[in-house]
């Protein structure tokens, strides 16, 4: 069984609709209930800032500071994490405009980057904004896929941003008609190395999830069958050096075409994550709304289980408005599955009764007008 990671304290200042708020936690799951607009999702968002990136809303950081606040927002958390107990502080300084970056202190010491958070805990989430994942833009599925990869392979984020930067340079050279062969070749060689490493990391994550779903047992949440399409289709079992060579050829031969298109038409930025409902043998986009939600839950739970298996520590799970869509039986089954992961989860809803099956496995809080009470 994976070890637990948990928050024992969360304290917010000038965060969204909270001027000041604090939560004392005892390691059990956390249920936050209250009316629409009370600030439940904001609390989950605060916890999501204990992982690298822009949180579960992919927020512009300056929007996160409470409207009317004189300074930037801060989040403090006491965490029993993968490296023992730590105090984490994160937030932004005021008045830096939209290019502001998030500051992080771990036990009072400034951290080089927010990636250091992954040494201490892993935070995964499922929010209503993800409901259209299977029917929406492929860029959303790619981002979802990359978050899956990132939770087990922190270097994936750096590879993806370096690839993006190199690709932008290539696009610029091509669009300006500067076909300088040595410059282009150097950029393309960098893209080939990074691009194939990204594709391999994604493929490896899918392989791990596939192996896991083979022995996931009976659950009311269907098994998603995942495949990748759009880049190096069916070729990923070949040696990386050969794939890099192939990708380099594609880039070299595609210069004219890409110049005309104004963008690079081959690469890992074109990958799509295809999801099928295994039991129905149906693509996810054609499943019913409820089936899609259940598939998404199945996918996030599988990822949480994989994270726990691979790291030995159960992730913190943020489940926003998860109970509303499920009947009583499925709700109880979900709580059992979440509890069985062995970690701490944060769940929100408008009605406390929906969580009654959790009983004393959870702490219950009421959220109202930017305040939290027991
Ligand atoms: N920067 C900000 N400053 C002040 N208030 C904000 C800021 N950003 C968001 N809010 C407000 O926070 C409130 C709470 O939002 P939140 O999404 O947490 O509600 P919720 O309890 O999850 O509601 P629902 O049940 O409708 O999902 C909203 O009314 C929103 O306008």
Task: Determine the distance separating the centroid of ligand 1 and the alpha carbon of 16, expressed in angstroms.
Answer: 7
CB of 39 sitting under 6 A from ligand 1: yes
Task: Determine the distance separating the centroid of ligand 1 and the alpha carbon of 39, expressed in angstroms.
Answer: 5
DSSP β-bridge partners for residue 123: 316
CB of 277 sitting under 6 A from ligand 1: no
Q: Please identify, among 222, 251, 272, the residue that sits at the C-terminal boundary of a domain.
A: 272
Model confidence over 158-177: pLDDT tens digits? 999 999 999 999 999 999 98
- Whether the per-residue pLDDT at 215 is higher than 80: the answer is no
Q: Which residues of 255-265 are buried (b: 16+ CB within 10 A; e: fewer)?
A: beebbeeebbe
Same-domain pairing of 126 and 150: no
Same-domain pairing of 145 and 248: yes
Q: For residue 180, what pLDDT band results from cuts at 50, 70 and 90?
A: confident
Domain membership of residue 127 (yes or no) is yes
> Number of folded domains in the chain?
2
Task: Give the pLDDT of residue 370.
Answer: 86
Model confidence over 182-211: pLDDT tens digits? 999 999 999 999 999 999 999 999 999 888
CB of 51 sitting under 6 A from ligand 1: no
CB of 67 sitting under 6 A from ligand 1: yes
Domain membership of residue 307 (yes or no) is no
Same-domain pairing of 153 and 58: no
Domain membership of residue 75 (yes or no) is yes
* Residue found under tokens 């027991």: 374
Task: Give the pLDDT of residue 216.
Answer: 57
35 is in an annotated binding site: yes
Query: Could you give the CA distance from residue 283 to residue 281 in angstroms, rounded to a whole number?
Result: 7
Domain membership of residue 153 (yes or no) is yes
Domain membership of residue 268 (yes or no) is yes
Task: Give the pLDDT of residue 1.
Answer: 79
107 is in an annotated binding site: no
Q: Please identify, among 239, 272, 305, the residue that sits at the C-terminal boundary of a domain.
A: 272
Residues 360 and 348 sit within 8 Å (Cβ to Cβ)? no
Q: For residue 319, what pLDDT band results from cuts at 50, 70 and 90?
A: very high
Model confidence over 267-300: pLDDT tens digits? 999 999 999 998 889 999 999 988 899 999 999 9
Same-domain pairing of 104 and 197: no
pTM (2 decimals)? 0.92
- Whether the per-residue pLDDT at 213 is higher than 80: the answer is no
Same-domain pairing of 324 and 364: yes
Nearest-atom number in ligand 1 for the CA of 63 is 1
Domain membership of residue 293 (yes or no) is no
Domain membership of residue 62 (yes or no) is yes
Q: Please identify, among 247, 272, 297, the residue that sits at the C-terminal boundary of a domain.
A: 272
Model confidence over 35-86: pLDDT tens digits? 999 999 999 999 999 999 899 999 999 999 999 998 899 999 999 999 999 9
Same-domain pairing of 197 and 171: yes
Task: Give the pLDDT of residue 217.
Answer: 62
Range of the domain at 147: 138-272
Q: What is the ipTM of this complex?
A: 0.98
Question: Residue 13 is encoded by which pair of tokens?
Answer: 């200042």
Residues 88 and 79 sit within 8 Å (Cβ to Cβ)? yes
Domain membership of residue 294 (yes or no) is no
Same-domain pairing of 93 and 186: no
Same-domain pairing of 198 and 221: yes
CATH number at residue 164: 1.20.1050.90
Same-domain pairing of 148 and 198: yes
- Whether the per-residue pLDDT at 248 is higher than 90: the answer is yes
Residues 364 and 31 sit within 8 Å (Cβ to Cβ)? yes
Over range 348-361, report the average pLDDT.
Answer: 96
CATH number at residue 123: 3.40.50.300
Same-domain pairing of 123 and 144: no
Q: For residue 214, what pLDDT band results from cuts at 50, 70 and 90?
A: low
Task: Show Cβ contacts of residue 212 under 8 Å, excluding neighbours closer than 6 positions.
Answer: 302, 305, 306, 309
Same-domain pairing of 155 and 262: yes
Same-domain pairing of 216 and 165: yes
């Amino acid at each position: 069984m994976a070890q637990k990671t948990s928050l024992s304290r969360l304290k917010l200042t000038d965060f969204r609709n909270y001027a000041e708020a604090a939560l004392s936690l005892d390691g059990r799951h956390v249920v936050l209930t209250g009316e629409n607009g009370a600030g439940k999702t904001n609390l989950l968002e605060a916890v999501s800032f204990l992982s690298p990136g822009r949180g579960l809303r992919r927020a512009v950081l300056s929007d996160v500071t409470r409207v009317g606040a004189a300074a930037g927002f801060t989040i403090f958390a006491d965490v029993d994490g993968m490296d023992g107990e730590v105090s984490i502080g994160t937030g932004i300084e005021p008045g830096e405009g939209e290019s502001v970056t998030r500051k992080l202190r771990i036990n009072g010491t400034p951290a080089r980057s927010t990636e250091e958070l992954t040494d201490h805990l892993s935070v995964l989430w499922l929010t209503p904004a993800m409901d259209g994942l299977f029917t929406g833009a492929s860029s959303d599925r790619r981002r979802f896929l990359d978050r899956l990869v990132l939770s087990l392979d922190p270097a994936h984020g750096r590879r993806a941003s370096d690839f993006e930067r190199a690709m932008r340079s290539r696009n610029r050279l091509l669009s300006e008609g500067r076909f300088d062969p040595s410059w282009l070749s150097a950029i393309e060689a960098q893209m080939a190395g990074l691009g194939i490493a990204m594709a391999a990391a994604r493929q490896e994550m899918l392989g791990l999830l596939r192996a896991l779903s083979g022995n996931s047992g009976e659950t009311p949440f269907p098994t998603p069958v995942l495949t990748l399409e759009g880049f190096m289709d069916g070729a990923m079992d070949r040696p990386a050096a050969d794939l890099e060579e192939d990708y380099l050829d594609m880039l070299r031969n595609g210069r004219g075409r890409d110049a005309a298109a104004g963008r690079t038409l081959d690469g890992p930025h074109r990958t799509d994550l295809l999801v099928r409902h295994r039991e129905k043998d149906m693509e996810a986009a054609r499943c019913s709304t409820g089936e899609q939600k259940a598939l998404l839950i199945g996918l996030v739970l599988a990822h949480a289980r994989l994270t726990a298996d691979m790291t030995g520590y159960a992730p913190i799970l943020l489940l926003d408005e998860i109970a509303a869509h499920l009947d009583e039986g499925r709700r109880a089954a979900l709580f059992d599955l979440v509890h069985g992961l062995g970690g701490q989860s944060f769940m929100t809803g408008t009605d406390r009764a929906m969580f009654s099956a959790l009983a004393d496995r959870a702490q219950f809080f009421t959220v109202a007008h930017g305040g939290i009470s027991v």
